[in-house]
Amino acid sequence: MGKLFGTDGVRGLANERLTAPLAMKLGAAAAHVLTEIEASGQRRPTAVVGRDPRASGEMLTAALAAGMASQGVDVLDVGVLPTPAVAFLTDDFGADMGVMISASHNPMPDNGIKFFAAGGHKLDDTVEDAIEATMLNLTPQGPTGAAIGRIIDESHDALERYLHHLRLAVPTPLDGLKVVVDCANGAASEAAPLAYSSAGAEVTAIHNRPNAYNINDGVGSTHIDVIQKAVVEHGADIGLAHDGDADRCLAVDSEGNVVDGDQIMAILAIAMKEDGELKKNTLVATVMSNLGLKLAMREQGITMRETKVGDRYVLADLNAGDFSLGGEQSGHIVIPEHGTTGDGTLTGLSIMARMATTGRSLSELASVMRVLPQTLINVPVPDKSKIISDARVQGALEAAEQELGETGRVLLRPSGTEELFRVMVEAADPATARRIAGKLAAVVAEV
């Protein structure tokens, strides 16, 4: 079968790698690992299940729910909601586990399954391994009669519960701010515009009409040029772009300049430090964050810790060190006091709250950090596992690091969700970063 779980759950082409039978087995196995199933039936475990609007989500929801119900778990179906909403509702409903069916920023034909433990927390590697092992040893016989789980529609008030949570998390009035939000025709299409407008902002929503097939289709946070143009056209103060499941957020200032996850973290870290909310004066980021973020934090007296790529690794470090802010350059921002995973809508509200309280533009706030030129090349490869140990790649890496010295850095890593190998180079000037990254990518492509 091979390893199922990647950087962020199980992901693949729907109905090819990620099939309904596989989803059913995953649901059944996860029910055993993540819940306390009692043979007596006196305690009925529960699971919250949500999805983004892509077409295959309906099929996979049905299969996954059937697998969990077959093991005696009641399934609370909350419908189409952002990933952070499902994580929140897992805790809010007091459920034993939660599941989000989404491939995030991936194109529509893909889909994915992300599991949450009780409290809405992402799983660590050992728990994911236990689910895979349980799949191999499942017996076909489950409970019968009244012990079979129920599948219950809980979509009627799920969104309002999440919006109420956001209002409590960021109560700052946003009156007078004009925002354009690109919903990627995804899970945020209803939630994000409502959250921003209820806080007082004047909202223009684009790409907020999902039809099951248009999610991430040339829009959203992976196609930032779209909202860059829209912000200027609408004369907005800020643009916010979400991905398909709305666990990330990238911003655009009033002149159409991109404010990425690193700059957003710098803005929020400084705000939280000023308010006495940045625990241990520490920010948690990943190895992909720009060197400029570390330099800016050093100037502000803020320590920056680095983790592996993936918001669950950021979360693990946040929880282990009891820190209060972390995230990724891609726009996954985690504020543990208000959420157990990256929350794009919460991030958008937090940025605008900082603008409202300081009276400063997003451009002014982002200027605290100088972004060093960075080039990232995604190289399609047949086998990611062979790249880093290849002698040719190692030789090219050593040569690049020698040339850059202390003026930049190189990072080579496999994608956790796609058959890609990522080549990232930072340098003092864009031409050097592009040249060195191009040379390294060419070597990787030959392996």
Ordered per-residue pLDDT tens for the chain, 447 residues: 568 998 789 999 999 999 999 999 999 999 999 987 554 446 789 999 999 999 999 999 999 999 999 999 999 999 999 999 999 999 999 999 999 999 999 999 999 999 999 999 999 889 999 999 999 988 878 899 999 999 999 999 999 999 999 999 999 999 999 999 999 999 999 999 999 999 999 999 999 999 999 999 999 999 999 999 999 999 999 999 999 999 999 999 999 999 999 999 999 999 999 999 999 999 999 988 998 899 899 999 999 999 988 888 899 999 999 999 999 999 999 999 999 999 999 999 999 999 999 999 999 999 999 888 989 999 999 888 889 889 999 999 999 999 988 778 899 988 876 789 999 999 989 999 999 999 999 999 998
Among residues 56, 70, 102, 104, the one annotated as catalytic is: 104
What six digits make up the tokens of 138?
């499942």
Among 319, 321, 348, 134, residue whose Cα is nearest residue 227: 348
Token pair for 395: 């030789």
Q: How far apart are CA 263 and CA 365, in angstroms?
A: 9
- Both tokens assigned to 428: 């003092």
Q: Is 166 helix (H, G, I), strand (E, B) or coil?
A: helix
Q: What is the DSSP string of 380-431?
A: E-S-GGGTTT-HHHHHHHHHHHHHHTTS-EEEEEE-SSSSEEEEEEE-SSHH
Asked if 314 and 321 touch (Cβ cutoff 8 Å), the reply is: no
Distance, in Å, from the CA atom of 292 to the CA atom of 56, rounded to the nearest integer, reads 40
Length of the chain, in residues: 447
**Catalytic-residue membership of 155:** no
User: Structure tokens of 355?
Assistant: 């603008």
Structure tokens at 111: 């889909």
CB neighbours of residue 389 within 10 Å: 9
Residue 50 to residue 116: CA distance in whole angstroms: 11
Dihedral sign of CA atoms 352, 358, 363, 367 in order: negative
What count of other Cβ atoms lies within 10 Å of the Cβ of residue 266? 28
Alpha-carbon distances, residue 185 vs 201, 300, 402 (angstroms): 21, 38, 45
Name the 3-class secondary structure at 164: helix
Distance CA 127, CA 319 (A): 17
pLDDT for 42 equals: 61
Rounded Cα–Cα distance for residues 193 and 186 (Å):
12
Q: What is the DSSP letter of 43?
A: S
Tell whether residue 322 is among the known ligand binding residues: no
Residue 39 confidence (pLDDT): 45
Find tokens 């489950």 and name the residue.
142
Q: Determine the residue type at 149.
A: G
275 is in an annotated binding site: no
DSSP one-letter string for 320-382: HHT-S-EE-TTS-EE-TTT-SS--HHHHHHHHHHHHHHH---HHHHHTTSPPPPEEEEEEE-S
Q: Please state, in angstroms and rounded to a whole number, the distance separating the CA atoms of residues 11 and 15.
A: 11
Q: List, in order, residues 6 or more apart from 289 with CB less than 8 Å away.
A: 261, 262, 265, 304, 306, 328, 329
The token pair at 226 is 């779209």
pLDDT score for 40: 45
Please name which of 122, 182, 24 lies closest in space to residue 318, comparing C-alpha atoms. 122
Q: Is 56 flagged in the annotation as binding?
A: no
- 245 marked as binding residue: yes
Between CA 89 and CA 99, with CA 95 as vertex, the angle to 5 degrees is 65
Q: What is the pLDDT at residue 249?
A: 98
The pTM assigned to this predicted structure is 0.89
Rounded distance between C-alpha atoms, residue 344 and residue 351, angstroms: 11
- CA dist 245 and 350 (Å) reads 19
Query: All domains of the chain, ordered by start, with CATH?
Result: 10-154 (3.40.120.10), 161-366 (3.40.120.10), 374-446 (3.30.310.50)
